[in-house]
Amino acid sequence: MTRQQPTTSPRYALALLLAVNLLNYIDRQVLYAVFPLIKADLNLSDTALGLLGSAFMVCYMVAAPFMGWMGDRWNRVRLAAGGLAIWSIATVGAGVAIGYRTLLVARTAVGIGEASFGTVSPGLLADYFPKERRGRILAYFYLAIPVGSALGYLLGGLIGQHLGWKTAFLLVGVPGLILSLPVWFLNEPARGATTVSPGSTTPVERNYPALFTNRSFVTNTLAMAAMTFALGGLAQWLPTFLCRMHNLDVAKANTLFGGITVLAGITGTLTGGWLGDRCQSKTPKGYLLVSGWGFLLGTPVAAYAILTPSLTSCLAATFCAEFFLFLNTGPLNTVIVNVTPHAIRAMAFAVNIFFIHALGDAVSPTLLGWLSDRWGLRNALLVTPITIALASGFCFLCTRFITTDMGRVEHDT
């Protein structure tokens, strides 16, 4: 049965979900802003420090398939609101942690809430807006990645240096509890496809194994996993890199990195969304070509940012690299929407979340920390440009399958 169309304005829903996604990345990145303070206070190795980030990601990716399964069956708005409340409470819990173990538990619990929101929110927006605008709409939504990350670094660095790292967690956790109420009262949009297509013998909503035979979905997910490994590692270690290699204090390092991230992220994400929709109107490969070329151009620039001894050159190269890398944000998420049926879209994002983090930033923080303990942080970070280049290769490989897989979804639904 098709649900009645909601009275909620699509623009209001976008604005509200974008605000929540901003908090998502603020809460996520504030930890990395205060890495040096936690390390000094709790006397941790880089490996133990990296585990704080990896533990969150492991919980996030393990919880995602369960949340995706629920998202295809239950009220997606309620799941999003509940997830927001859970991760906000967990962030506040990190602010009252009495030691490393309790901090680790609190940061791990954040993953449960973010998995609930992350699996259902892209599908919600896809159902609020027409297909022709998906690239730009999801680009707006994923502006939260650079803007929220930058705010996390800025707030974490400034609050942490002046008031302590625990206060930083407390102050960024409370707004989420407030926003959970308006999210709860959103009207859920009608799902795009709720019945079996003519001639089909298998209910679409139960055909989850088909995701693993969908070549576009698989290769797109591998591209995002390689990208997530690199960006996750850089996001967690680059502020510390600026402190160690360029002799900046915590507040200045996070302010500079946060400012660069927000400027490069906004311009890169919006440009990628606009270019993606424009190229997609000419070829079904448009979103993938924009992303693939962005990764390819960003690879050498990222390597130069890590290698140069000049702070000015490092910051300039970091800006350029982030701009090229953020081109993929709207396009690659839109590819997921375009190659999966509406009825299993939450699960598709859940599977995507599981694998991009299992192969990506669930392991990169700890791995880079382990390599840093042995090789030094600069040498450890040089692993990341290699995986960015790999992401480019998977994007170009995906162009071989995208036309067929998009056509199959349009026919089935």
Torsion-angle region of residue 130: left (phi > 0), alpha (psi -120 to 50) or beta?
A: beta
List the one residue out of 302, 290, 309 whose CA is nearest residue 230.
302
3-state secondary structure of 360: coil
CA distance 294 to 309: 25
List the one residue out of 228, 171, 243 whose CA is nearest residue 387.
228
CA distance 44 to 211: 41
In angstroms, how far is the first alpha carbon of the chain from the final one?
15
* Residue 202 CB neighbours (<10 A): 10
CA distance 127 to 287: 19
CA distance 68 to 74: 10
CATH number of 10-185+209-412: 1.20.1250.20
pLDDT tens for the chain, 413 residues long, are 444 444 668 788 888 888 888 888 888 878 888 888 888 888 888 778 878 877 887 888 888 888 877 877 788 888 888 889 888 898 888 888 888 888 899 988 888 888 888 788 887 887 777 776 767 788 788 888 778 877 887 888 888 888 888 888 888 888 888 888 888 888 777 765 333 444 444 444 446 777 888 999 999 999 999 998 998 888 778 888 888 888 888 778 877 887 888 888 889 988 988 898 889 888 889 999 999 999 999 999 999 999 999 999 999 999 999 999 989 988 998 899 888 887 777 788 888 888 887 888 778 877 888 898 888 889 999 999 999 999 999 999 999 999 888 887 766 55
Please say whether the beta carbons of 272 and 134 come within 8 A. Answer: no
Residue corresponding to tokens 């369960």: 66
Residue corresponding to tokens 């994923």: 142
Q: pTM for this structure?
A: 0.73
Rg (CA), the chain: 20
Give the domain ranges of the chain. 10-185+209-412
How is residue 340 written in tokens?
A: 């999966």
Please say whether the beta carbons of 265 and 322 come within 8 A. Answer: yes
List the one residue out of 236, 150, 178, 188 whose CA is nearest residue 20.
178
